[in-house]
Amino acid sequence: MNNTNDPYQAIRAYHDNEIPDAIQRLVNDPEFISAIVNHRFRQRSRLVKMLVSPVIRFWLKRTWGKLRSVEQVQLEVERYLSRVLNETTDGVTIKGVEQLSKDTPYLFVSNHRDIAMDPALVNYALHQSGFPTARIAFGDNLLKKPSVTELMKLNKGFVVNRSAKAPRQLLKALTTLSGYIKHSLDEGHSIWIAQREGRAKDGLDMTDPAILKMFYMNGKSQQQSFSEYMQSLRIVPVSISYENDPCDIAKATELYHRAHLGGYQKAEMEDIASIIKGITGYKGRITVSFSAPINDVPDTPAELAALIDQHIHSHYQLYPINYLAAQTANKVIPEACKQTLKHKLAQLPEEARDYLIANYANPVKNALQR
């Protein structure tokens, strides 16, 4: 349904009345069905995949066709996510939610390690704790396939336009995004957004002040001061820590190529492959830590970024592999942990190993600086 009076039509998450049509488009998308079949039956022959595709489509139409609201979609996602977490983790610990009010919308700003799992885990933690889930920011670089856009928008996702390059086009995109974030909060919907564009592949979780400047654009247009407007957003820093990063070897490889081989060219569907690896790969223990809302907001984006970093670093749950990588002398490291790191490093060229070590060591260094 196209609403020409909706200034956020192009980027916003779907509303309840748009859910049935979006699901119809999704289950009728041959590429989407093919992606499911190739993932679930990747060891089977081409003939088997051809035969099973209509069955998958029929099953999806029958189960998803009953969904009529965003809440129903989220409950379906939650069931799948619970199964994934049960199969790929050793448990999820949730901390800090007692500092939040269930009746208040927040702007959750988290560190960024995994494309899909970071926002999924924040929403999982909120749902498990009896809070409404948040709308999720995702970059348009992921929208190479229509089915991905449908899936994201069905699940409270909204678009961050990263492809805009011309100054006027970029200004318009950022202004719209800033307005949508405030509009959502004013309507009672929390927001999740990463502290920076792109994942922190080196373990250095640092907030980009440009993200905060984007938040402020809407307030600046109303001639509000930076601290006053940012206070109204009720920013909550969130620290997500994975004991094991399923994409750690790929991240180290990319950083090595960028530093020593003149750059790194992503494969066409590499981001999608990273999403699948992050979801299906073993993650060990996970901790999601919510800070208290930032009430005393500094006067500049740089100062606020440093304050958010302080919260994220101090609440980051460190695991034995972090201490091992950082060579922390006073920590007893289990032998299994040593073997895990040794096995990871053996899969990389010697010149690339320091990048994987840094991914696990830098959170310890960040914590020690606080």
User: CA 82, 88, 93: angle at the middle one, nearest 5?
Assistant: 65
Name 235's bridge partners.
Answer: 107
Nearest in space to 194 (alpha carbons), one of 312, 102, 295: 312
3-class secondary structure, 90? strand
Which pLDDT does position 370 carry in this prediction? 63
Residue 264 is predicted with a pLDDT of 84
Residues 307-311: contacts with CB within 8 Å, 24+ apart?
308/109, 308/195, 308/207, 308/235, 308/237, 309/195, 309/205, 309/206, 309/207, 309/366, 310/370, 311/237, 311/239
Token output for 3: 């609403």
What was the pLDDT predicted at 235?
98
The encoded tokens of residue 6 equal: 């909706």
Instruction: List, in order, residues 6 or more apart from 43 with CB less than 8 Å away.
Output: none
Closest residue by Cα to residue 136 from 61, 81, 89, 201: 81
Q: Which residue has the tokens 């096995």?
A: 343
Instruction: Return the bridge partners of 194, or none.
Output: 110
Q: How distant, in Å, are the alpha carbons of 119, 351, 367 from that of 141?
A: 17, 30, 32
How high is the pLDDT of residue 4? 62
How many angstroms separate the Cα of 119 from the Cα of each of 25, 97, 122, 194, 204? Answer: 24, 16, 5, 8, 18
What's the pLDDT score for residue 5? 85
Please state the separation of Cα 270 from the chain's center in Å: 16
Render each residue's pLDDT in the chain as its tens digit; 370 residues.
455 689 999 999 999 999 999 999 999 999 889 888 887 777 788 888 889 899 999 999 999 999 999 999 999 999 999 999 999 999 999 999 999 999 999 999 999 999 999 999 999 999 999 999 999 999 998 887 888 899 999 999 999 998 888 999 999 999 999 999 999 999 999 999 999 999 999 999 999 999 999 999 999 999 999 999 999 999 999 999 999 999 999 999 999 999 998 888 887 778 878 888 999 999 999 999 999 999 999 999 999 999 999 999 999 999 999 999 999 988 899 999 999 999 999 999 999 999 999 999 999 999 988 6
